[in-house]
Structure 1
Amino acid sequence: MSARILVVDNYDSFVFNLVQYLYQLGAECEVLRNDEVSTAHAQDGFDGVLLSPGPGAPEQAGVCIDMVRHCAATGVPVFGVCLGMQSMQVAYGGVVDRAPELLHGKTSLVEHEGKGVFAGLPSPFTATRYHSLAAEPATVPAELEVTARTHDGIIMGLRHRELPVEGVQFHPESVLTEHGHRMLANWLVECGDQGAVGRSTGLAPVVGRATA
């Protein structure tokens, strides 16, 4: 069964790359801007909600913070990318602040323990980062756990300890990110599409490893 996904577009140029990945994996998508969608729309027959990357801070991202809380309360799986993950940090009371360096298209090695969207992935793997803000490690709320980091400790993944709320700081849809299709397929399994991982085989680009 294909998953029906609501994609909240945070006015980002990458959103349709994410949508293309989801389509390749068999999902159906509806894309709405963050100021054109209400939290209640998540209940209109969707199997999951994806919060896209975008400019600015989570507090400026339209419905995103409220959407995290709504999905958590109603049991709809929600996945955040970049700004979307930062919205999860803020939704539970954490702080998002300036990252140690501004990154635009930089690749880094991401280390993880195989939880959530990282199931079945090698550690480390190469991921592409576009962000000037980051979740402050000392303020990660008790409800959330860190699922991935760079070698210098920048948070690259967050996941709710009990609910289907998860996000990544990097861009899985970037051509320089390894295993991007598999990560999104792992999330689609959580949304109810048990065949997504099988369809992800062979879709991810093969790239060299990062050096930082």
Structure 2
Amino acid sequence: KIDKRQGQVLVNNGEGKFKNVTALLWPMLPAGIVGTSIADYDRDGLPDVFLMYGNGQNRLLMNNGVGQFVDKTNSLLPRILDKSTHADWADFDQDGDNDLLVINTTINKRYQSYPGETCYFLENDGYGRFRKTSNRELPAESAFRVYLLDANGTGIPDAIILGRKGPHYMVGLGKWNFSVETNKRFPETGPIKNMTFGDINGDGFLDILSVSAGESTPKLWLNRVK
């Protein structure tokens, strides 16, 4: 099924006005997009687009150099049928390219690397071709959002994943290695709906402001680093 209204490309004319050039620059796509992650995935200096689908195969659109986005899903992404909710990019293996962490409520069992798997990495070969990289440190529960940050100043991305049962905190050690420190960083914490980051106390490290469903007052988490 094709939804002609799937996504729009609006070009800024430099004066704050936008022109809809979707028909010229954007391919026809299946319905069901729930989010995007924009980055340079093939190291050509141009932004590409990873599309998350709420039920089915995610897609990868590559910038062809003249602003048009070409659907390269079949040649550059592994086939994985899942119910994605969010994704974000970082160089998880420190090889100079942008990888992806994909968050889902479920993954079709045929594409799971282990029972209960709901989240996975997509490892970039440097040219925009990805392969699935599983990691048992990721939460084995329905997850809804991921936040990537360098919380401890090591230059290696850490990850906070919001799941059905609560947050899941992973300290990046480099080369796909992580240390799960949820109990240490978020003791006795239930589900969180959303969060944002900033250096609240001016110590040079990111702190967290979180909001939970059913609570009228947000929580402030000061980063103690160690």
* Alignment TM-score, normalising by the size of structure 2: 0.26
Tell me: higher relative CO, structure 1 or 2? Use CA pairs within 8 A at least 6 residues apart.
1
Between structures 1 and 2, the one with greater helix share: 1
Between structures 1 and 2, the one with greater strand share: 2
Larger radius of gyration between Structure 1 and Structure 2: 2
